[in-house]
Amino acid sequence: MTTESDAQAESQRHASKMAKKKAARDKIMATKEGEKGLIIVHTGPGKGKSSSGFGMILRCIAHGMPCAVVQFIKGAWETGERRLLTENFGDLCQFHAMGEGFTWETQDRARDIAAAKAGWEKAKELIHDPRIRMVLLDEINIALRYDYLELDEVLAFLRAEKPPLTHVVLTGRNAAEGLIEAADLVTEMTLVKHPFRSGIKGQPGVEF
Amino acid sequence: MTTESDAQAESQRHASKMAKKKAARDKIMATKEGEKGLIIVHTGPGKGKSSSGFGMILRCIAHGMPCAVVQFIKGAWETGERRLLTENFGDLCQFHAMGEGFTWETQDRARDIAAAKAGWEKAKELIHDPRIRMVLLDEINIALRYDYLELDEVLAFLRAEKPPLTHVVLTGRNAAEGLIEAADLVTEMTLVKHPFRSGIKGQPGVEF
């Protein structure tokens, strides 16, 4: 049976534990002074790589920070994100769909390479523009994996030409080791359980 | 040296490989007929749990699907997402911030429990509403971990009372084993590298 004094003691223990956590956290936060444009990578076989990229774009828009998206692979899809961003926030967020659908839909390597290279040219232009604070290179890791783009060229550009306060977000599974080394913030999305395995199809709002 | 015929042969090999991939994928997709409201969990110590939840809410809005967000922990923060969603898409997306900041900011267990319980009551009401197609329960895993909410009650409700086509997304690190078992789609965000470790503070657009 819990008495009133038990509950009071539990509350006091909790307050003391949380006060310690807060002190520890405040101490850590006080050392974080730098502001820096980050190279951010979302990779791994799980879900959420692109959608958390779009979540960050949404945050930029909410803060009034100009931003841009280049889609390297899913271009042929009329994705929900694309329509919503261009229709509502076209003044703050540029959207460039360069791919022609997943590579196994096109079966044309030359066309895929041309689309990837055009995407990268657009990406460089956007990253160079100092007004733009975040550039999302959605699914660029796929273009790198198939050698549609040269990793060395991408890394050299990010290292030498990215303005210091610009964030660049690169998504897609199988991120190259060199990209992970160059990045400031890397998250791997791990698949724990997926409904496709139990016969459920991709659904609006969840997959697209 | 690459001759024109080498390039042609490479293109043909590529087209044939991609055609096989497409056939395999089409075969898999043809078996995915079910439409089902999913229980979706984003967990793990990495970034992207909340932001990919917001990315899915954005997709719902883009498809004109009514949706809702209940924030269990970050309520005291004026997050970018909250302002942007309520100002622009209040007709499609309800937003309820129930928490009072991270628990180590408040040091008041009774108040935290009351906030979590109020959040769960609101969540049940939103999930019951058959017009709402997706409900994001942001950081509910934290409330479950501190026993502010009873896991059994949450699981029983999701099992018995969630309408069959409603998606419920539950985020936060340390998702309970029972929740992972009950879920249809689980992604673990793994931290590979984080700039806080090298003295960079949280920045707008990235962390909030």
Lowest mean pLDDT across A78-87, A91-100, B43-52, B167-176 = A78-87
**Chain A environment of B103 (Cβ under 8 Å):** 18
Cβ–Cβ gap B67/A32 under 8 Å: no
Chain A: closest CA distance from residue B189 (Å): 5
Candidates B36, B184, B190; nearest CB to A188: B190
Question: Would you say B196 and A184 are in contact if contact means Cβ atoms under 8 Å apart?
Answer: no
Asked whether A62 and B207 are in contact (CB, 8 A), the reply is no
Which among A142, A70, A152, A135 has a CA at the least distance from the CA of A113? A142
Q: pLDDT at position B123, please?
A: 98
Lowest mean pLDDT among A107-111, B20-24, B168-172: B20-24
Distance from CA of B166 to the nearest CA of A (A): 11
Cα-flanking dihedrals φ and ψ of residue A63, to 5°?
-90, 5
Taking only the tens place, the pLDDT of each residue in B146-161 is 899 999 999 999 999 9
Going by pLDDT thresholds of 50, 70 and 90, the confidence category of residue A85 is: confident
**Closest chain B residue to A171, measured at CA:** B48
CA gap B38, B17 in Å, rounded: 34
Strand partners, B43: B188
In degrees, rounded to 5, the angle at the alpha carbon of residue B47 between the alpha carbons of residues A145 and A81 is 70
What confidence score (pLDDT) does residue B76 get?
Answer: 40
Q: Is the pLDDT of residue B194 over 80?
A: no
How would you list the strands of the sheet with A134-138, edge to edge?
A93-97, A67-71, A134-138, A167-171, A39-43, A185-193, B185-193, B39-43, B167-171, B134-138, B67-71, B93-97
- From A138's Cα to the closest Cα of chain B, the distance in A is 13
Q: Would you state the pLDDT for residue A43?
A: 95
Domains of chain B, each with CATH number or no CATH: 37-198 (3.40.50.300)
DSSP assignment of B24-77:
HHHHHHHT--B----EEEEESSSS-HHHHHHHHHHHHHHTT--EEEEESS-TTS
pLDDT band at A9 (very low <50, low <70, confident <90, very high): confident
Confidence of residue B97 (pLDDT cuts 50, 70, 90): confident
Q: What is the phi/psi pair of residue B60, to 5°? A: -60, -45
Pairing between strand A39-43 and A167-171? parallel
Give the 3-state secondary structure percentages of chain A, helix then strand then coil, rounded to 5.
50, 15, 35
Residue of A nearest to B169 (CA): A206
Q: Give the C-alpha separation, A59 to A133, whole Å.
A: 12
Of B203, B7, B92, B16, the closest CA to residue A38 belongs to B203
Q: Do A55 and B54 form a contact (C-beta atoms < 8 A)?
A: yes
Mean pLDDT value of segment B165-190: 94
More confident residue, A146 or A27: A146
- The span from the CA of A7 to the CA of A49, in Å, is 43
Which residues pair with residue B191 across a beta bridge? A187
Name the residue facing B103 among A18, A34, A60 (closest C-beta). A18
Contact B194 A185 (CB under 8 A): yes
Residue of B nearest to A29 (CA): B201
Mean model confidence pLDDT for chain A: 84
3-state class of A170 per DSSP?
strand
Nearest to A143 by CA among A160, A168, A165, A123: A123
Question: What is the distance in angstroms between the CA of the first residue and the CA of the last residue of chain A?
Answer: 51
pLDDT at A98: 83
Higher pLDDT, B38 or A5: B38
Cα angle B154-B156-B157, degrees, rounded to a multiple of 5: 65
Separation of alpha carbons B6 and B8, rounded Å: 5
Q: Which chain B residue is nearest to residue A206, measuring alpha carbons?
A: B56
CA-nearest of A32, A198, A47, A78 to B49 is A47
What does the pLDDT read at residue B195? 65
Mean pLDDT, range B103-131, rounded to an integer:
86
Residue A199 — left, alpha, or beta (φ > 0 → left; ψ -120 to 50 → alpha)? left
Contact list in B for residue A25 (CB cut-off 8 A) is 104
Q: Which amino acid type is present at position A78?
A: E
> Nearest C-alpha of chain B: how many angstroms from A35?
6
- pLDDT of A188: 94
The model's confidence at residue B78, banded by pLDDT at 50, 70 and 90, is: low
pLDDT digits (tens, 9 = 90+) for A158-168: 999 999 999 99
Cβ-based contacts of B15 with chain A (< 8 Å) = 107-109
String of DSSP letters for B139-200: THHHHHHTTSS-HHHHHHHHHHHS-TT-EEEEE-SS--HHHHHH-SEEEEEEEEE-GGGGTB
In degrees to the nearest 10, what's the CA dihedral of B162, B167, B172, B173? 90
More confident: B2 or A185: A185
